[in-house]
Amino acid sequence: MISAQEARNIILSSVKPLSTITVSLARARHYAVAEKIISGDDIPPFDNSAMDGYAVRYGDIKSVPIELTVVGEIGAGVIFQGTLQQNEAVSIMTGAPIPDGANTVVPIEFTEQTDQSRVKILRNVSFGENIRRAGEDVKRGSVVLDVGTTLRPQELGVLAALGKNFVQIYKPANVAILTTGDEVIDMENPLKPGEIRNSNLYVLRGLSEELGCEVVDLGNAKDNINEIRQKVIQGLESDALITSGGVSVGKYDFIKKVLQELNAEIKIQQVNIKPGKPFVFALLGSKTIFGLPGNPVSSMVTFLHFVKPALLKLMGRTSEIESDLKIKATLVNEIKKSDGKMYFLRGILESKNREFTVRSTGAQSSHLLTSLTKANCLIIIPENKDMINAGDKVEVCLI
């Protein structure tokens, strides 16, 4: 059986980003940029004042106090006409361009206006202080964003500063979700003996929507090979198909059979993890198929560990795959295992005395949906660790 790491490698190397489109900057948030952004301008575009104060010649204020003649006032957006001469100052506002001849700004707090056109400099500042230099933030011609960077509000701000009102992005993925099971019913119907409500649909849809995917809900298929085949074919109209249930070794587990019939290339059938061992990954043409186990915890864990990075890759969001944060925390309660699997335990991560601690949410069976609502992280226990004592460090990922 392959390891979680091997499974992730197979998935990430099989999935390629979808095509690209150009959208207005106002609609670009959350997508990955599909073009290398090279700055056509300096930011800031000109030397400007970082403070409200007086633009001066440094040579004039070396020994203080000293009185200077105020020869003008410039607000942001205004250009001073002329060149500052010896013992002159210009009243300047934050963001206003530095006048020719000036090389230093004295903050207003370090000055005293003696009359309409005189200012006394009370304290010295160093040469060039309080001037924001042209290109200090971004140099013209430099790479500002690499392909695959997700556009968060701050990236949008940089693109706006560069005047980039249209940007090429990777398309969001369409994701079809199909749950399976004779026992699974919609919540509109009364629960009959032996039936359960379809919680996985809401979890998987929520997780997909959180990633910015467009979700197509295919509903629930009974454990009937014809019904499953028909819905899977329908699901293949989307970029990715996620199924829940029917991937283990039970008599009515038909997902793999249907995928084989359709000539999909099944690349993964089982992974050495708990929960989530019967996880299927398949390709059919350009379509990506994920068969998740039906148990609610297994289905969420396999989504987070395998489907999420794949969907991010489909949407070109490589920066997020690479910055997948893991936190080291001190384990509160000991953990024992003996089956050589990688474990994903539901945990509660807390920050106490500037240190992260993590404890298990309690019982960990894969049918316990509320173990996920209590948790804010998954504790990851590697395959080769059988015993982890209280006080040892473990790795967790936030959920």
In angstroms, give the least distance from the CB of 344 to ligand AMP.
17
Q: How far apart (Å, rounded) are the C-alpha atoms in residues 78 and 374?
A: 57
For Mg ion, the binding residues (CB under 5 A) are: 181, 245-246, 294
Question: Residue 240 in 3-state DSSP?
Answer: strand
Q: Which is nearer to ligand AMP, 182 or 350 (CB)?
A: 182
Residue 371 interacts, among Mg ion, ligand AMP, none and using kind-specific CB cut-offs from 5 to 8 Å, with none
Residues present in the chain in total: 399
Q: How far is the CB of 240 from ligand AMP (least distance, A)?
A: 18
Residue 330 tokens read as 């001190």
Report what 183 binds from ligand AMP, Mg ion, none; CB cut-off 5-8 Å by kind. ligand AMP
Q: Checking phi first, is residue 152 left (phi over 0); if not, alpha (psi -120 to 50) or beta?
A: beta
200 binds, among Mg ion, ligand AMP, none (CB under 5 to 8 A by kind): ligand AMP
Residue 309 interacts, among ligand AMP, Mg ion, none and using kind-specific CB cut-offs from 5 to 8 Å, with: none
Number of C-beta neighbours around residue 58 at 10 A: 16
* Minimum CB distance to ligand AMP, residue 273 (Å): 15
Asked whether the beta carbons of 335 and 360 are under 8 A apart, the reply is yes
Q: Which is nearer to ligand AMP, 200 or 361 (CB)?
A: 200
Select the binding partner of residue 42 from Mg ion, ligand AMP, none (C-beta < 5 to 8 A, by kind). none
Q: How far apart are CA 330 and CA 216, in angstroms?
A: 41
Rounded to 5 degrees, what are φ and ψ at 62? Answer: -60, -40
Q: CB-wise, 123 or 367, nearer to ligand AMP?
A: 367
**Residue 382 and residue 393 in contact, taking contact as beta carbons nearer than 8 Å:** no
- Confirm if 358 and 330 have CB atoms less than 8 A apart: yes
Nearer to ligand AMP among residue 256 and residue 317 (C-beta) = 256
Please give the full DSSP string across 29-92, using - where no structure is assigned: TTSBB-S-EE-SS-BSSS-EESSSEEEE-GGGGSSSSEEEEEEEEE-TT-PPPSB--TTEEEEE
**Residue 68 and residue 119 in contact, taking contact as beta carbons nearer than 8 Å:** yes
Query: Half-sphere exposure of 219 toward its Cβ, with a 13 Å CA cutoff?
Result: 13
- Give the nearest distance from C-beta 244 to ligand AMP in angstroms: 5
Distances in whole angstroms, Cα of residue 56 to Cα of each of 81, 135, 194: 15, 22, 84
Residue 148: which of ligand AMP, Mg ion, none does it interact with, CB under 5 to 8 A by kind?
Answer: none
Name the residue nearer to ligand AMP (CB basis): 147 or 255. 255
Q: Which residues bind ligand AMP (CB under 6 A)?
A: 179, 181, 183-184, 196, 198-201, 244-246, 248, 250, 293-296
Nearer to ligand AMP, 148 or 235 (CB): 235
Output the smallest distance, CB 298 to ligand AMP, in A. Answer: 8
| Least distance CB 195 / ligand AMP (angstroms) | 9
Q: How far is the CB of 378 from ligand AMP (least distance, A)?
A: 19
Identify which of 218, 215, 233 has the alpha carbon closest to the alpha carbon of residue 173: 215
Residue that has been written with the tokens 């949407």 in this structure: 315
Q: Least distance (Å) from ligand AMP to the CB of residue 163?
A: 49
Residue nearest ligand AMP (C-beta atom) = 294
Find which of Mg ion, ligand AMP, none residue 293 binds, CB within 5 to 8 Å per kind.
Answer: ligand AMP
Are 231 and 289 within 8 A, CB to CB? no
| Contact partner at residue 238 from ligand AMP, Mg ion, none, CB < 5 to 8 Å by partner kind | none
Which is closer to ligand AMP, CB of 298 or CB of 319?
298
Nearer to ligand AMP, 150 or 243 (CB): 243
Nearer to ligand AMP, 33 or 201 (CB): 201
Query: Which of these, 273, 310, 300, 272, lies nearest to 368 by C-alpha position?
Result: 300
Residue closest to 307 by CA, chosen among 338, 339, 341, 271: 271
- The smaller minimum CB distance to ligand AMP, of residues 130 and 248, is found at 248
Q: How far is the CB of 187 from ligand AMP (least distance, A)?
A: 11
| Contacted by 179, from Mg ion, ligand AMP, none: CB < 5 to 8 Å by type | ligand AMP
Pick one of ligand AMP, Mg ion, none as the site partner of residue 97 (Cβ within 5 to 8 A by kind).
none
Query: How many Cβ atoms sit within 10 Å of the Cβ of residue 12?
Result: 15
State in angstroms the smallest separation of the CB of 359 from ligand AMP. Answer: 26
134, 46 Cβ separation under 8 angstroms: yes
